[in-house]
Structure 1
Amino acid sequence: MSAIRSEENEPIQVLFTMHDNMNLLDFAGPLEVLTHAQHDFNNPDTKAFDITLAGPQESVLTAQGVTLNAQISYKEAHKRLKEFDVLVVPGGKEKCMEMVKKEAEPLPLVTDFAELQTADPARERTLLAIDTASLFLANQGLLQGLAATTHPDFYIKLEHECQNAAANDTGERTDCMEERYVVNNARFDLGENLEENPYVFKKNRKGSNARKGSLARRESNLSKEYLVRRKSMKLGGMRVITSGGAVSGIDASLYLVSALVSHESAQEVARIMQYDWVKGVVVDAIDV
């Protein structure tokens, strides 16, 4: 594995959205994964992610009756959105369709994050929607021309939201997939043999657990040719990840660690959590 440059060992800035009646595990699963991740597990000072929690008010009540406190308001989150590399959006079955109809937060925040990427494709940003949060993305038209998944009970609703968004905007269709998680606009050092890369999947093609090389995170390492290609991609090349049910959010978060830090770091987090990482699907990939 190639070494990650020292200037890239700074924490990756992550913003979690919160809302009333969100599913606790949608939030806690990815939070657990990202807080464990380190650039170097032999150095406790190399935490990989710095996390900020945004909510509509000071505290939110989850669907499970647990109260969680936000660190910043949505108003502040909108003002500071340029600071963040990753936006994580938990779902919530009880109120998700009501939120979609009202286009309530975090839907506007999600759209603003996508617009940032479109305006500045040189910056590498990731949008991770857990569980039914994929419906938020679908409603805002962000899944057009991409592939996505959601909780199995909401596959039909996801298809309807994607169809409505495409009809309203004469946009491209969305490939709704029954997968653990689905990744769009991936960026990896693919290596010479794609069959040996565990993250380049076409539909149900399976790969090995080997990975060649680490991913350089900062835009300073990108070639002009690559930037031109990324600008032409959907959403300015923003990595869009949707997951299935709540536990699938853990799998998707481990993938995120593997993409932004290293495969070894993701494996170590899974070991610490005593969790059996189930791989999902990457529908496209381009090398740098």
Structure 2
Amino acid sequence: MPKVVFFLVPKLHLLDLAGPAQVFFTANDLGYQHDLYYVAEAAEIVTAQGVPVKAQLDWPDLGRDDLIVVPGWRSPRLSPSAPISAGTAEVLREHHATGGSVASVCSGADALGAAGLLDGRRYTTHHDLTDELAARYPKATMVRDVLYVMDDRVITSAGIASGIDLALHLVAVRCGVEAAARVARQMVVYARRNGEELQESAMLRHRGHLSDLAHRVQDVIDRQYTCRLPLTELARGAGVSERTLTRIFTTATGLTPLRYQQVLRLERAEHLIGHGATVESAARAVGFEDARMLRRLRARD
């Protein structure tokens, strides 16, 4: 079971911690298991909002499938140095060097920079801190006005609520985009994606609506998009007429059920082709009888 370790610093923002932690906690409830840990350099951390948080002092054993997340702390302006010890910086460096992933929310990027993990990489942070961090870490490339950036297992996010978006992206990468969509729906948040690898997944791009019926039909299509899914069967499963299903689904997602399925197939086929598959083998893998329909869809899109 992969571990997710949150490293806590004094005056951390509650939502920077609670948002991503809730994503992984909800994923656990849905069967996508992670072990959650909370580590700090003191047994108790007082958050920016005044709530004390207990933490363990010892790091668990970490492997390449595990993730360290550094939530942000209250920092209208950055302190002269990141509030982490040399020992913690070494843990971050060593974990990444051995194949693990390291993430930050908001000013947590300062901790990654102090550990040398931003050098030569693209990253982002809260808009109030971009100029300061860009000056502090000139060997790194600041990406402004995005929710999060992923570069060689170093994942940074803009701050506060964007930590939820970052965590949903990581669930999508680790457990699949359907898992991330289910978590977002359970948390009653938009499954937002923005500008980086996998962030434009169709399974999430068309989930930003409040129609429970459309979500339930999308769940079916997401699981079985390589199969033949007649509208009559989808409507029967949803308990509505074909006409009603088409109207509600199209209003919610902007696509008909058939077009939504085609978009999923096309997206997966493009991924396979990008990784060396032929058009013919990609077409078969996503459920087309031959490559003609796939070629037509690629030409149209």
| Global fold match (TM > 0.5) | yes
Residues 92-127 of structure 1 show CA distances to partners (whole Å, capped at 9, x for unaligned) of 1338733x52x5426642442332432x34xxx211
Q: Does 1:129 align with 2:129?
A: no
Partner residue of 1:221?
none
Partner residue of 1:159?
134
For the Cα contact (< 8 Å) 1:270–1:276, is it kept in 2?
Answer: yes
Deviation at 1:282, TM superposition (A): 2.3
Structural RMSD (CA): 2.7
Partner residue of 1:80?
61
2:70 aligned to which of 62, 76, 89 = 89
Distance 2:96 2:113 in 1: 17
Residues 220-241 of structure 1 show CA distances to partners (whole Å, capped at 9, x for unaligned) of xxxxxxxxxxxxxxxxxxx111
Partner residue of 2:120?
145
Distance 1:15 1:114 in 2: 15
Distance 1:268 1:107 in 2: 39
Distance 1:24 1:129 in 2: 14
1:128–1:96 CA distance, 2 compared to 1 (3 A): farther
Residues 237-265 of structure 1 show CA distances to partners (whole Å, capped at 9, x for unaligned) of xx111001200000000000001111111
Partner residue of 2:167?
253
For the Cα contact (< 8 Å) 1:14–1:84, is it kept in 2?
Answer: no
Tell me the TM-score normalised to structure 2 length.
0.60
Distance 2:156 2:111 in 1: 11
Tell me the TM-score normalised to structure 1 length.
0.63
1:193-204 mapped onto 2 (5 Å cutoff):
none
Count of aligned positions: 202
AA of the residue aligned to 1:87: I
Deviation at 1:283, TM superposition (A): 6.1
Q: Does 1:12 align with 2:2?
A: yes
Distance 1:25 1:59 in 2: 17
1:87–1:107 CA distance, 2 compared to 1 (3 A): farther
For the Cα contact (< 8 Å) 1:150–1:244, is it kept in 2?
Answer: yes
AA of the residue aligned to 1:24: L
For the Cα contact (< 8 Å) 2:3–2:62, is it kept in 1?
Answer: no
Deviation at 1:83, TM superposition (A): 8.3
1:175–1:21 CA distance, 2 compared to 1 (3 A): closer
For the Cα contact (< 8 Å) 1:26–1:246, is it kept in 2?
Answer: yes
The structure where helix makes up a greater share of residues is 2
Partner residue of 1:7?
none
1:83–1:242 CA distance, 2 compared to 1 (3 A): closer
Distance 2:75 2:142 in 1: 25
1:66 aligned to which of 51, 57, 81 = 51
Deviation at 1:37, TM superposition (A): 0.6
Distance 1:59 1:29 in 2: 20
Partner residue of 2:151?
184
For the Cα contact (< 8 Å) 2:72–2:159, is it kept in 1?
Answer: no
Distance 2:48 2:78 in 1: 14
3-state SS of paired residue (2:137)? helix
AA of the residue aligned to 2:170: L
For the Cα contact (< 8 Å) 2:68–2:103, is it kept in 1?
Answer: yes
Deviation at 1:81, TM superposition (A): 4.2
For the Cα contact (< 8 Å) 2:93–2:116, is it kept in 1?
Answer: no
Distance 1:33 1:47 in 2: 11
Partner residue of 2:225?
none
For the Cα contact (< 8 Å) 2:46–2:53, is it kept in 1?
Answer: yes
Partner residue of 2:92?
113
Distance 2:91 2:122 in 1: 20
Partner residue of 1:266?
180
3-state SS of paired residue (1:20)? coil
Distance 1:48 1:23 in 2: 25
- Structure 1 alignment gaps of length 5 or more: 1-10, 167-172, 186-238
Q: Does 1:25 align with 2:18?
A: no
Distance 2:68 2:93 in 1: 10
Partner residue of 1:280?
194
**Percent pairwise identity:** 28
1:134–1:29 CA distance, 2 compared to 1 (3 A): same
Distance 1:265 1:156 in 2: 36
Residues 131-163 of structure 1 show CA distances to partners (whole Å, capped at 9, x for unaligned) of 111122223321122111101101101111111
Distance 2:34 2:132 in 1: 33
- Structure 2 alignment gaps of length 5 or more: 199-270, 277-301
